[in-house]
Chains A and B, each alone.
Chain A
């Protein structure tokens, strides 16, 4: 079955430093979605990438989808304490019932 791997599992950064998390799927995806879960909260949808090589930006967040549509990354520039949380990628499989599979997540801690 489809597997979505995500690294690193944990990341501590000093406030103001950059942060990147990487996502890799075992199969080609229809799209990749990114979610953020704050401590004690539930996952919240951030963005979706559909096209091969697509790059999208949300303020300090930059999302990329690989050319082969099997990997993705999320980069945060100049982290702030409000960025704390766990970032999940989720891949939508192509064909079949089009199921979304979540990665294990990257837990980001920002040290003030």
Chain B
């Protein structure tokens, strides 16, 4: 399977705990995006990378959120001191830098904070 993969698919954690999600993009894609999606809403942009460089981070994102893409391949998204409001689907997508930047999404990681 050469699509975007995400791990884990589901995560239940207690408020205050830290969580980390991983995304493996399509291998030749140099852009990688993180989104958050809650029920009935569109994907909300969090951040994106071009190769290993983080080009933009949403102003809505608190300092508790951090993302890395150290070698320009897979990426991790960490949420520190989770809150109940962090419960959502976290989607990763990748695209080529050239062309129309159409994005290919992974299956997402569903986070539930209790």
Contact = CB atoms under 8 A, between A and B. Distances in A.
Interface residues of B, number: 22
Contact of A33 (B42, B100, B107): B100
B2 interface: no
A48 B106 contact: no
Contact of B108 (A42, A99, A100, A105): A42
A75 B44 CA distance: 25
A33 B108 CA distance: 20
A29 B35 CA distance: 20
Contacts of B93: 43
B107 A99 contact: no
Interface residues of A, number: 25
Contacts of A43: 43, 91, 93, 103, 105
28 contacts: A30-B100, A31-B100, A31-B101, A33-B102, A33-B103, A41-B107, A42-B91, A42-B105, A42-B107, A43-B43, A43-B91, A43-B93, A43-B103, A43-B105, A48-B100, A88-B42, A88-B43, A92-B101, A97-B56, A98-B101, A100-B103, A101-B45, A102-B42, A102-B43, A102-B44, A103-B42, A104-B42, A107-B40
